[in-house]
Each structure stands twice: as structure tokens, then as C-alpha cells.
Structure 1
């Protein structure tokens, strides 16, 4: 039931992506991959697999499609990064209480990204769903811009190359591969929800045990 529901939501987006790439070629790839990396969930699987099919038809080269897709992803990531970087104070002052965000939370994010941010930014670019949103917290944590840019570009390359190469190899069967890759999306979505539940439960348990600890002290 869930795959059918999700398919009914994503199919119009996939059709839109195919039309844009089909009509505009490399410019279409750029127009789709910029927002895909700026927290707008346009499926890169559809964009780059269909781009790979066009490569097999001789419309442009494999590396032209990969380079355009990767650079467009980088530009989109800059947008999301800027929103997080320049909007963190406004987020704290205007919406901090409603979202239960304190200054200490931002300081924790800064420390976490200083320690693990390089791995998170690089490897998340090879994961569906997560790759779309990782730039925002990187900006909130004020990760150095040059470091963020290099890791983002290098992390995008393997994912985009893989999708484009698969599309080129399977040719007209690219859509079957697109449908198969949806199951990877579902698995990642389940892991994200499980991680959120885990950290929420852990946070609530910590809050409950804190008063008892303080009273004992």
C-alpha cells in the first residue's frame, strides 16, 4: 500500500523531470538539480537516469551530464547552506521557543559539525533523501564554506555518475531502474524515522532523569 501511495505522489514529479530534461537537455539537468540540492525533493534518480538514457542516444556525453549535475547540486547546496547560515539567529530569536531550540542547541550543532561534519556532508551526498537536506544544518553549524563546497562536490560526483552510467547502460529500460531505486528511498526514509524516534525517546528519558539527579545532588 505504501509504495503505491508514494508512487502516486512522485510519478507526476518524475514526469515533470523527464519533460524538462527531454526538452532542455543539459540546461534541464541544471534546472532540476539546483533545487534538488536546495531542500526541494525533486528525485535525482529520475533526472540523472533519464539523462543517462539521453547519453546512450548520443545527445551529449556522459561526463558532460555528470559535470552539469554535480555543479548544479553544488549551487543548490549553497542556497540551502546560506539559509541555514544567515537564518540561524532569526530562527533562534523568532521561533526558538516554539521549536524548543536554545542557544546551547546551536552550540552543540557547531561542535558536532566541527567533529563529524566532514563525514556527514561527504557521505550523505550518496544517500537518497538525506542528500537533499544536509546543506541546511551545515549552514546552521557555520561549517567553513570552502570545506563544505569541496566535500559537497566530491560527494555528489559518485552518486550522479552512478545514476547517469546506469541510465546509459540500460537505455530505454531506465524507468524500471528508477522504480527499483524507490525501494532504497523507502529504506532510507524508515531509517530516518527510526533515528528521530530513538533520539526523541532518549532526550525525553534524559529530561525525566535530570530532576531526580538534581534533587539527589
Structure 2
């Protein structure tokens, strides 16, 4: 069942990027950064594959991804700011944000300060919800945008680079996968299974 859902999501992501190019990357990464679990681990590697094919440019892909992350994070930031922690605790479970996640984010803010936004953007899963606690903590918006952009730029570049390199070695793995998106589906299933299992367990333990 999970494999089918990820396959459908992957096909939709691929169609968006194929038809809209950089604009599609901005759109998809904005959705991912708005606390909606749309995996950047599928979005950016496929964009990198299109870099390998010569349809897009690596830095253009990375910039589009980072811009999308900033745009999607701003609404999540304001939800945290004006709704506060009670809103996140009440509705966060619907986007798989657990009480454990909030406690972890609080500890990180206390330990690392505003820089946790930059660090969090480099961590799988955490990057999806880190804008909420930034809003709750009323972090300065200019710092929030700068740290979000820089961390996201590195993350998007690395994932796109991986996709580009996979494309360069496509002949050696084509024996196992008839289409490139199947590679992404496998990666997406592994990530989604871990992410959902971890968060559902944390929510049940509350």
C-alpha cells in the first residue's frame, strides 16, 4: 500500500517538474516546507536527473529549491507565531508533528539559538517542521529567511547533485530499474516508512 502511494506521489512530482521546470521545483519545495510531508528526497534528485539530461542547470535547480523552501516556510512560521504552541500541539499530528518533535525543537533552540534553523534545514524530516517552533519562539524574520535559504540551498544542491550523479551512472543501474523514477520510489518508500513509523509511535506515546 505504502509503495503504491509513494509511486503515485513520485509520478505526480515528476510530471510537475517535467512540465513546469524551475517553477515546479519552487512549487513542490514550498509545499514540502509548509509542513506537508512531500519528500524533497524525491523532488530534488529527479531535478538533478534533468540536470544530467541537459534540461536544467544544477545551480538553477538548487536556487529554485531554496526559494521554494523560504516561500513555504513563511506561512508555517506565522502559524507558529500567531497560533502558538497549543495550535501546533493540537493539529500537528495531522502532518505527523509529534509532541516529541516539539520538545526536541525547544531543546535545540535553547542549545543552538537561531542557528538551529540553518542546521535543521540540513536534517531529513526535521526540516519539514522546523519553521513552526521558529514562529513560536518569535525568531527575527530576517534571520529566519537567511538561515532557511542558506540551509535549504545546501540541502537542495546535495540532493540534486546525487540525482545528477545517478543519471551519469544510469547504464550501470538500469539493469535493476527500468525507469529512473523507480529509483526515487524505492528511496521514497524507505524514507517514508521510517518517517511515518517514527512519528506515529511518538504520537501514540503522548
TM-align CA RMSD = 2.9
Give the TM-score, by structure 2 length: 0.74
- The number of residue pairs the alignment matches comes to 181
List aligned pairs for 1:1-217, cutoff 5 A.
5-88=1-84, 91=87, 113=109, 115-171=111-167, 174-175=180-181, 177-182=183-188, 183-187=190-194
Over 3 Å counting, the alpha-carbon distance change for 1:117 and 1:187 in structure 2 is farther
1:75 CA drift (Å): 1.1
Give the TM-score, by structure 1 length: 0.70
Task: Report the structure number with the largest CA radius of gyration.
Answer: 1
Aligned to 1:204: none
1:91 CA drift (Å): 4.0
CA deviation string 1:146-188 (max 9, x = no partner): 2222221121122211111111121256435424534345445
Over 3 Å counting, the alpha-carbon distance change for 1:180 and 1:8 in structure 2 is closer
1:9 CA drift (Å): 2.4
Higher relative contact order (CA 8 A, sep 6+): 2
SS in structure 2 opposite 1:138?
helix
Query: Structure 1 CA distance, aligned partners of 2:186 and 2:17?
Result: 21
Task: Give ranges in structure 2 of 5+ residues lacking alignment.
Answer: 91-101, 171-178
